[in-house]
Amino acid sequence: MLKGTFHIQSKEARERIINQFCKWIAISSLISVFIYLYLQIYILSAVTAFVGLLFIYFLNLNKKGKFKVSR
């Protein structure tokens, strides 16, 4: 086994990591939207807002237990 790799044992741990990833993407896209709006780059802010909303939707699907759909 490689030195930097790890194996996630439980299904719950895997779902928790996916949720953390979705939260970080949603937060970073929200910050990016404000930066793009400040710089008056409206197209990028719209696309980034869509990506953020998409990951928030994935979080909702994970909370409802629809893991295959959200992945």
Q: Tell me: the pLDDT tens digits for 15-56?
A: 888 888 889 999 999 999 999 999 999 999 999 999 999 999
pLDDT surpasses 70 at 3: no
**Burial of 22 per CB tally in 10 Å (0-12, 13-18, 19+):** buried
Overall pTM > 0.75: no
Question: Which two three-digit tokens encode residue 2?
Answer: 């490689």
In this prediction, residue 24 carries a pLDDT of: 93
